[in-house]
Structure 1
């Protein structure tokens, strides 16, 4: 383990107060900022002479910033790191300049699953004050659910809905035969899944767009779309056109994933404006994984 001279959390990173003293085992000095930086220049100023930083997913940490921080040797991402391409940190630049970047995964999946299950039940029952999705009040066991992607959070959603009796299908760029066999999920080509499923949940990686006008035409009426990704999974004009159809509903937990905020003006669009995965339990798991990363540095 390398001893860090100065660690700066350049923004709020969901690090619990009771865990902050644990960082003293790895760092001589620790600084936490509790506000978001307003510019790249402010990020550089906050980093200053630090040799390590904590970041979240809301600000790009590109080569323009990293090049201004010659002391920096370690970046701890206090958020999911799925791939180099989808990361808000320029990992290629960091690697070329000897900066270690660590991220975490699989800490908020349970909350995402509960969010989808909760709102699916409300729509199926009409408990939100609107006509039930399928006409009559229906149990989850009466619904066909299609997942876009089958990563960790999608599998958590699938388990929750399957447990309640839903008919679970999925579309992914690569099939998961071992998951199909073990869990009983069915792979479907995208057109068939969109046409047949009542509830469609996108758990795609950041910056992946899958739904355009053709796909929304396949979906048609009487459908619910969930997006739990950190970016829109659709073309903006295409979803606006789809939401004009009868009995169509769109749920998204974060503003980052919502799309244009004008969607909030529609009564069939619901956004809680915070990550469904950031429960107290998820934050505890996040903290543990971040501490394990810095201990291994």
Structure 2
């Protein structure tokens, strides 16, 4: 009899088709996981879950007594209650590495689009408002090259963003993270700063930390007021790493010049969110890793993690090692 697994929200078709050959797979998308009878029935017998943004808490785990592994198709895993999973010897995994360059490309693209006001001026042209050969100063953007880029979170993606800024745009790189990064300091001439120092000195502030209890709400009113009035804020991490209402007020008050956002406090963003009516805000729908090549690579790695866990092996990207130690 084939082992039962659940696929949730996003698993690329070639990977899903391959899993279906080996396992009894049921795919669910954007359902009420606490009340959907088909989901709960399959969960009660499933040994593994693979997918994106499934909230995993004690209640879900109570309904999945046979679970061995939960494999996220993402680098983030704030949707997993790791303490509860570890108590029950359930392994959690993620997909780091394969999306690093893709996310860094996205973040830097948003930075460039915000600095040069590209979405706003694209609409300006399409609306037929371009009436003279040369636009006036009211449509000017801001230079990127030779400016100071402050990166909050110098992990794999932070380093990839630093690489683009340092080598591509001759930017001075500042960073703030839990630990010093000698390799980044040597390779990109990056300088460590306290958070306040980084905010005060940077022309562009890029948020790329994971969402943890320590980083939730890390950037709020006080931090926005620390930034230069000419600063541009970019968030490519998670929406809840900042206080979104404080960002809105900072933009309204002119505490900072503009913002580029790939993530939001609530996703999808509410249609009445004031950010959507601000010309100095560039918004994208959490597309950091959303290319055909990268999404497929993430699904493949997530499936590798899943199958290792199902077979009692240590997954290559285990985020709660204590769960495997308990199994051993």
| Cα distance per residue 1:61-98 (max 9 Å; x no partner) | 1011111222322222222246xxxx312222222223
Larger strand share, 1 or 2: 1
- Contact map agreement 2:147 2:172 (CA 8 A) in 1: yes
Partner of 1:37 in structure 2?
A: 31
In structure 1, distance between residues paired with 2:179 and 2:248: 29
Partner of 1:222 in structure 2?
A: 230
| Cα distance per residue 1:168-226 (max 9 Å; x no partner) | 11111221123211331111222222122111100011142222222211113111101
Partner of 1:174 in structure 2?
A: 179
Partner of 1:153 in structure 2?
A: 157
| Total equivalences in the alignment | 282
Is 2:35 the counterpart of 1:23? no
RMSD between aligned residues:
2.5
Partner of 2:286 in structure 1?
A: 274
Give the SS at the match of 2:73.
strand
Partner of 1:242 in structure 2?
A: 250
| Cα distance per residue 1:125-182 (max 9 Å; x no partner) | 4544364444xxx3x3222110011011111111111122111111112211232113
Cα distance change of structure 1 residues 73 and 118 upon mapping to structure 2, 3 Å threshold:
closer
Is 2:308 the counterpart of 1:296? yes
Select which of 181, 184, 190 maps to 1:185: 190
Cα distance change of structure 1 residues 7 and 268 upon mapping to structure 2, 3 Å threshold:
same
Q: Which has the higher mean CA deviation after the structures are superposed, 217-226 or 242-251?
A: 242-251
Partner of 2:74 in structure 1?
A: 79
- Contact map agreement 1:53 1:76 (CA 8 A) in 2: yes
Partner of 2:90 in structure 1?
A: 99
Is 2:12 the counterpart of 1:12? no
Select which of 295, 299, 303 maps to 1:283: 295
- Contact map agreement 1:220 1:242 (CA 8 A) in 2: no
Q: Which has the higher mean CA deviation after the structures are superposed, 226-235 or 194-203?
A: 226-235
Higher relative contact order (CA 8 A, sep 6+): 2
| Cα distance per residue 1:224-264 (max 9 Å; x no partner) | 10111123332234222210244611111134578873322
- Contact map agreement 2:48 2:68 (CA 8 A) in 1: yes
In structure 2, distance between residues paired with 1:30 and 1:78: 16
- Contact map agreement 2:3 2:24 (CA 8 A) in 1: yes
Q: TM-score, normalised by structure 2?
A: 0.77
Cα distance change of structure 1 residues 123 and 214 upon mapping to structure 2, 3 Å threshold:
same
Q: TM-score, normalised by structure 1?
A: 0.84
Give the SS at the match of 2:94.
strand
In structure 2, distance between residues paired with 1:4 and 1:188: 53
Cα distance change of structure 1 residues 231 and 124 upon mapping to structure 2, 3 Å threshold:
closer
- Contact map agreement 2:251 2:258 (CA 8 A) in 1: yes
Is 2:263 the counterpart of 1:254? yes
